[in-house]
Chains A and B, each alone.
Chain A
Amino acid sequence: AQSVTQPDIHITVSEGASLELRCNYSYGATPYLFWYVQSPGQGLQLLLKYFSGDTLVQGIKGFEAEFKRSQSSFNLRKPSVHWSDAAEYFCAVGEASGNTPLVFGKGTRLSVIA
């Protein structure tokens, strides 16, 4: 069965600092991987996704993520965080074939301080 682990429950960074949110997955084959962002009281918005090919994927709002098969990781990064990036971030994994629903991690809450 697929599973996703986001080891950090809450991270605080200073505005302008770099950011890395960790995501580890468990899946027997090549997965589809996603990062979503959720602002307070809102639904989830897709930031980026990985299927195959280039292991470094670019997303919206200046985010990127790198797929590392050897580490079963798909960490999200941003070189310079803005106050508006404060939100909850969810990593998700899905089967590359078939239609089993996505499995979400428990999320990492990002706080940004001045």
Chain B
Amino acid sequence: DAMVIQNPRYQVTQFGKPVTLSCSQTLNHNVMYWYQQKSSQAPKLLFHYYDKDFNNEADTPDNFQSRRPNTSFCFLDIRSPGLGDAAMYLCATSRDGRNMGGYTFGSGTRLTVV
């Protein structure tokens, strides 16, 4: 089945130690999104790629970076994780970004910072 896969499901990292979360998709969708979701809160958009065009949300900290080497893969890099970055990170895709199809989400990566 076509899907969005996030690895790992659970990630524990040390305070200040760089960490990378990965997302892959077999849907051949043009747009990929990264959301941060803290407990009992709405998903917060960090950035998204429309093909290779990177779109950063204005309030996304510089500590967060992203790479999309090809259509199928997208990575979230946290350069120096702080305790406040502990959250669920959700990857989502959209066929063309025009919202008609909605988004397809991965199962998320739960990040713990110790």
Q: A89 CB to closest chain B CB, in angstroms?
A: 11
For B105, give its contact among A32, A44, A95, A109 (CB under 8 Å): A44
For A107, give its contact among B4, B40, B45, B90 (CB under 8 Å): B40
For B50, give its contact among A95, A96, A99 (CB under 8 Å): A99
The residues in B between 1 and 58 inclusive whose CB is less than 8 angstroms from any CB of A are 4, 6, 31, 33, 40-43, 45, 48, 50
State A105–B43 Cα separation when bound (angstroms): 8
Give a binary string over A49-65; 1 marks a CB under 8 Å from any B CB, 0 the rest.
10100000000000000
The residues in A between 79 and 114 inclusive whose CB is less than 8 angstroms from any CB of B are 90, 94-102, 104-107, 109
**Given A41-B108, A101-B33, A107-B42, CB of A51 within 8 Å of CB of B50:** no
**A42 an interface residue at 8 Å Cβ cutoff?**
yes
Q: Are A96 and B99 in contact (CB under 8 A)?
A: yes
Majority-rule SS of A interface residues = loop
Give a binary string over A1-44; 1 marks a CB under 8 Å from any B CB, 0 the rest.
00000000100000000000000000000001010100001111
B44: nearest residue on chain A (CB-CB)?
A104
| Set of chain B residues within 8 Å of A41, measured between Cβ atoms | 107-108, 110
Q: How large is the interface on A (under 10, 10 to 19, 20 to 34, 35 or more residues)?
A: 20 to 34
Which residues of B line the A interface, CB within 8 A? 4, 6, 31, 33, 40-43, 45, 48, 50, 90, 92, 96-100, 102-108, 110
Shortest Cβ-Cβ A-B pairs, 8 listed? A99-B97, A94-B99, A43-B105, A44-B105, A104-B42, A106-B42, A43-B107, A32-B99
